[in-house]
C-alpha cells in the first residue's frame, strides 16, 4: 500500500514539483494551498505524513502543526516542517514537528526524509 503524504504549501510550483517527485517514488500525494479547516483536510486524506510549510495561509505552519498535535486522532502523524527561514530547526521544534527540511531542498533528501517519516517505528 502506498504511503499518503499531505503537503501544505501555498507555492503552486513547490506543490507541483513535490507531487511529481513523490508520486514517481511510490507515494500517494495530496496537496493543499492553505491550512483552513486543517483537521477536516486530514480526515479526508488520513495521511501517513504531513509536509508543512512555515508560511502557509491563513495562520502559518506553527499553529497548524500545533492543531494536529492537539488532535486525539492525528497527534501521532509525523510532521515534516519545511521552510526557507534560516531558523527552520527552531521553528520546527516550536511547531512540534518530528523533523524539518530547509528550502531550497535537495530532491533526493526530501524523498529520504519522507520515507523515513512514513516508516513504522520499531
Residue 7: what are its φ and ψ, rounded to 5°? -105, 130
In the three-class reduction of DSSP (H, G, I as helix; E, B as strand; rest coil), residue 22 is classed as: helix
| CA 75 – CA 87 distance, rounded (Å) | 24
Domain ranges of the chain: 4-118
Residue 36: what are its φ and ψ, rounded to 5°? -65, 140
Per-residue pLDDT tens, the chain, 122 aa: give them. Answer: 899 999 999 999 999 999 999 999 999 999 999 999 999 999 999 999 999 999 999 999 999 999 999 999 999 999 999 999 999 999 999 999 999 999 999 999 999 999 999 998 76
Single pTM value for the model: 0.96
In the three-class reduction of DSSP (H, G, I as helix; E, B as strand; rest coil), residue 9 is classed as: coil
- Going by C-alpha positions, the residue among 88, 48, 80, 46 that lies closest to residue 64 is 80
Q: Which superfamily is assigned to 4-118 in CATH? A: Response regulator (3.40.50.2300)
| CA 99 – CA 79 distance, rounded (Å) | 7
Check the CA dihedral 74-57-96-112 and report its sign: positive
Helix (H) or strand (E) holding 20: helix 12-24
Amino acid at each position: 500500500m502506498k504511503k499518503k503524504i499531505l503537503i501544505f504549501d501555498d507555492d503552486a510550483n513547490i506543490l507541483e514539483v513535490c507531487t511529481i517527485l513523490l508520486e514517481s517514488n511510490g507515494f500517494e500525494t495530496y496537496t493543499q494551498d492553505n491550512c483552513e479547516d486543517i483537521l477536516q483536510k486530514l480526515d479526508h486524506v488520513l495521511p501517513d505524513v504531513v509536509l508543512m510549510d512555515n508560511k502557509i495561509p491563513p495562520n502559518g505552519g506553527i499553529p497548524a502543526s500545533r492543531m494536529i498535535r492537539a488532535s486525539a486522532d492525528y497527534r501521532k502523524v509525523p510532521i515534516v516542517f519545511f521552510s526557507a527561514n534560516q531558523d527552520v530547526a527552531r521553528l520546527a521544534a516550536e511547531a512540534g514537528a518530528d523533523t524539518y527540511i530547509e528550502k531550497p531542498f535537495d530532491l533526493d533528501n526530501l524523498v529520504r526524509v519522507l520515507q523515513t517519516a512514513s516508516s513504522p517505528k520499531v
